[in-house]
Amino acid sequence: MAELATQNPRPRILSGMRPTGKLHLGNYMGALANWVRLQNEGQYECYFFIADWHALTTDYADPSRVKLNTLDVALDWLAAGLDPGKSTIFIQSHVPQHAELHLLFSMITPLGWLERVPTYKEQQENITGKDLSTYGFLGYPLLQAADILVYQPQFVPVGQDQVAHVELTREVARRFNSLYKTEVFPEPDALLTPSPKLPGTDGRKMSKSYGNTIGLTEAPTTVAFKIHNMSTNGQRIRQSDAGDPDLCPVADLHKVFNSPDAVAEVEKCCRAASQRCEFCKMDAARAVHNAIGHIHDARMSMESRIDDTWEMLREQSRKASARAEQTMMPVRAIFDLSHDLGSIRRYFAVNENHDKEVRDLSQHSDWWDLPADQRAKLLRNYWKNNLVPRDVPLTQESNREFTTIDRELEEPFITAKKKRVFVSTSRDILMRNRWHFEIPLRSYEVWTLLCWSDETRALYDFPVPQKTFSSDFAMARRVKKDGKIPVQIDRTEEGKFTLTIAAREVADISAFQGDYAPLK
């Protein structure tokens, strides 16, 4: 089918951060630096977002800093080199599809799965002063699963601490796909960020809650001062003593930010007590500055343009939302939450305007920009639920596993009398009032050709018995390309429809329009 042209997919990656305010070196080395690298390598389509709803799962009692922290994180990201020209950078709460999918996932997720996520009990015990016995906090990892799956990514770049959440995400995807016999959600893999050991100023792990951080965009003098006051973890209390650099957090800073040669020199001087700690620390501060000084400068200039930054985030969130919507449409259809009256209409008496209404697709403006294969799937569903008369029950060989959506779209419907009905959709984008189809060389009793017009947004449906054109069909076998027969429908100026099989015009098929007798 011309419409089924495959679109270039670079594998997608998605990751997020809670807005806890300005980033520190630990956040940078553990995540952000890696994201910038992945973005610049250009191998992936990248989505990065600020998880402000996740912040509310713990900070719901005082949300006053969430927006400020969100902007702070965004400014640090941009300063560090995330680039809206290369990645989609957005705010979680500006994309309501995350919340919608979270809600739908909550219907199918057993409570036990969430209670067993290790971070749940740990955090409840470790975070004191906040009541975390809430529904939202229990659902934290499920919201994360929705964050991820709504973009159908292949990989999720995260640190070791998030692996359990990615595992839950895979389980939810698997359960959804198997419950609804679909492949909407590919199971994403964690793309583990190697995170070097980066101690805080007191030698413990760098963490905001320990108050031992060095900010990614702090002024160079502040950074130098903090490093100057850093603990040596008991090494070289007297400067004449030799030290062990493997025990000193300053040496860890060297290992992360200095060259291998310089690190060797530092270790040698430490063991030989040949250079005072204060010089070793000045050297460390210089290495840190060389690595991240430009980020501080970039942040300074970003801060004078916060309106632009916010506008960019809103714009990028709209882009993310459009992508998320592509996932949500088939998901809503699966739960029978699509916005048209659909199959329900068939249970009520059909009024005289019915035929006109069901063929008028102007209400479905949300379909027109979907990728061709998803649109084709929705349109087939729509056709089955709205256009096929009530006395024509159709089934599909539903237990079959489809390897690709293309194959699924070629799968015929079966009538009560076991007739095989091939259904294909086409949109007149190449030329107005002309539709192209490609029909597999298998035999079907009926071809149903669905033509939809970009201009009038009308749908024309032609159930055509294959045997009516069997001689043309036999001829066409010789002209086939790639095992398929090219078929074309044209709408003439007088409003008639002609059928062309393998480049030979064969008939006026106007009379077939909307006539479902061949399916009975």
Question: Which residues of the chain form contacts with ligand SF4 (CB under 6 A)?
Answer: 232, 235-236, 243, 245, 248, 250-251, 270, 277, 280-281
CB of 466 to ligand TRP, least distance (A): 49
In the list ligand TRP, ligand SF4, none, the entry touching 380 (Cβ below 5 to 8 angstroms by class) is: none
Q: Which does 104 bind (CB under 5 to 8 A by kind): ligand SF4, ligand TRP, none?
A: none
Cβ proximity to ligand SF4: between 42 and 234 the closer is 234
Minimum distance, C-beta of residue 12 to ligand TRP, in the bound complex (Å): 12
CB closer to ligand SF4 out of 116 and 268: 268
Contact 92, 52 (CB under 8 A): yes
Q: Is the dihedral of CA 377, 379, 384, 386 positive or negative?
A: positive
Residue 51 binding result from ligand TRP, ligand SF4, none, given CB thresholds of 5 to 8 Å by partner type: ligand TRP
> Least separation, in Å, of the C-beta of 302 and ligand SF4?
33
Q: Smallest distance, Å, CB 206 to ligand TRP?
A: 15
Q: Which of 91, 132, 158, 388 binds ligand TRP (CB under 6 A)?
A: 158
Partners of 202 in the beta sheet? none
Q: Does 162 bind ligand TRP (CB under 6 A)?
A: yes
Task: Work out whether 424 is an interface residue with ligand TRP (CB under 6 A).
Answer: no
From the list ligand TRP, ligand SF4, none, pick the one residue 214 interacts with, judged by a Cβ distance below 5 to 8 Å according to partner type: none
Pick 130 or 289: Cβ nearer ligand SF4: 289
From residue 38 to residue 57, the character string flagging contacts with ligand TRP as x (rule: CB under 6 A) and all else as - is -------------x--x---
CB 167 within 8 A of CB 144: no
**Per-residue DSSP letter, 31:** I
Instruction: Give the H/E segment covering residue 253.
Output: helix 249-257
Hey, what long-range contacts does 177-186 have (CB within 8 A, 24 or more apart)?
A: 179/108, 180/334, 181/398, 181/399, 182/330, 182/334, 183/402, 183/405, 184/152, 184/327, 184/330, 184/331, 184/334, 185/149, 185/152, 186/152, 186/154
Least Å from the CB of residue 128 to ligand TRP:
19
> Within 13 A of 519's CA, how many CA atoms are on the CB side?
26
Distance, CA of 37 to CA of 20 (rounded, Å):
22
Q: Which does 281 bind (CB under 5 to 8 A by kind): ligand TRP, ligand SF4, none?
A: ligand SF4
- For residue 431, how many other CB atoms are within 10 A of its CB? 9
The count of other CB atoms within 10 Å of the CB of residue 117 is 19
What are the C-alpha distances in Å from 135 to residues 53, 112, 386?
13, 13, 40
Pick the closer one to ligand SF4 by CB: 149 or 253: 253
Nearest approach, Cβ of residue 296 and ligand TRP (Å) = 24
By CB under 6 A, tell whether 258 contacts ligand TRP: no
Instruction: Tell me the pairing of strands 155-158 and 189-192.
Output: parallel
Q: Which helix (H) or strand (E) holds 157?
A: strand 155-158
Q: Which does 386 bind (CB under 5 to 8 A by kind): ligand TRP, ligand SF4, none?
A: none
**Choice from 15, 27, 235, 309 touching ligand TRP (CB under 6 A):** 15
219-222: long-range pairs with CB below 8 Å, 24+: 219/296, 220/285, 220/289, 220/293, 220/296
Nearer to ligand TRP, 141 or 199 (CB): 141
Task: Please identify, among the stretches 11-19, 199-207, 446-454, 512-520, the one whose residues bind ligand TRP according to the rule CB under 6 A.
Answer: 11-19
146 binds, among ligand TRP, ligand SF4, none (CB under 5 to 8 A by kind): none
Query: What are the start-end ranges of the H helices in 61-215?
Result: 66-80, 97-108, 111-115, 118-126, 135-138, 140-149, 163-179
Residue count, binding to ligand TRP (CB under 6 A): 14
The encoded tokens of residue 470 equal: 């069997």
CB of residue 194 vs ligand TRP: minimum separation in angstroms? 16
Minimum CB separation from ligand TRP for residue 120, in Å?
A: 12
Neighbours of 49 (CB within 10 A): 24
Q: Minimal distance in Å, beta carbon 217 to ligand TRP?
A: 19
- Count Cα atoms within 13 angstroms, Cβ side, for 348: 9
**Cβ closer to ligand SF4: 217 or 232?**
232
Residues that bind ligand TRP (CB under 6 A): 14-18, 51, 54, 144, 147-148, 156, 158, 162, 165
